[in-house]
Amino acid sequence: MKTTRKSLLGFMVLSATVLLALPAAAADWNLDASHSHVGFKVKHMAISKVTGSFGDVTGTLTGEADKPATFLAEITIQVASVDTGNEKRDEHLTGADFFDVEKFPTMTFKSTGVATDGGDGVLTGELTLHGVTKTVELELEYLGQVNDPWGNTRMGFSAEGKIDRRDFGLTWSKALEAGGLVVGNDVEIELEIELVRAK
């Protein structure tokens, strides 16, 4: 059967209409651990703050490019990789008084939504730590995307928030005579995340 110009044009218009009606393809991204930072701060002796980070972190993200509101992220942290710059303190943190990594080796965060206002927003998700899962909110700054010299597409964002460690069963501390605690209850979370689009 001979295809006429009219029928060919009709097929092209129909095809274009179908393609435009399809949802935008979701992109898969992998966390680049060598260019990311998962850190925290907590008060010590009520007069200063100790900082720390986790070195063994993996994560993925799906969502439409340039639309942070569609992003869904999952991050897994090996808790034994905690590093506060002091070996003795790190041993205490990974022991039964705190993280108890023998029973709870990982910490996970799974996002449930992003509310955006321009480049900034609020990232909501479920944080599982020490066997307890709680909803947390993080202030999110979307830093954009770029193509690197090696043909990869990269995306970055910063996030910060605060949790009460007691909500996750992390209650160890000692009271000070002058008031306050040896280890504060509020933990500040600081994230600097860089992701690479999966090929």
Report whether pLDDT(158) > 60: yes
Q: In the numeric block, which tokens belong to residue 168? A: 């996750």
Residue with tokens 């010299």: 149
For the chain, the first-to-last Cα distance in angstroms comes to: 41
Domains, the chain, with CATH or none: 25-197 (2.40.128.110)
Section 21-42 average pLDDT:
81
**Mean pLDDT score across all residues of the chain:** 87
- Cα–Cα distance measured from residue 57 to residue 108, given in angstroms and rounded to the nearest whole number: 10
Q: Which of 14-18, 23-27, 111-115, 125-129 has the lowest mean pLDDT?
A: 14-18
Confidence of residue 189 (pLDDT cuts 50, 70, 90): very high
Regarding predicted confidence, which is higher, 6 or 92?
92
Model confidence pLDDT, tens digit, residues 65-86: 677 788 899 999 999 999 999 9
Mean pLDDT of 116-140: 91
Single pTM value for the model: 0.83
Residue 130 contacts residue 109 (beta carbons within 8 Å): no
**At 183, which helix (H) or strand (E)?**
strand 183-197
3-state secondary structure 41-87: EEEECCCEEEEEEECCEEEEEEECCCCHHHCEEEEEEEHHHEECCCH
Which range (1-5, 137-141, 161-165, 191-195) has the least confidence?
1-5
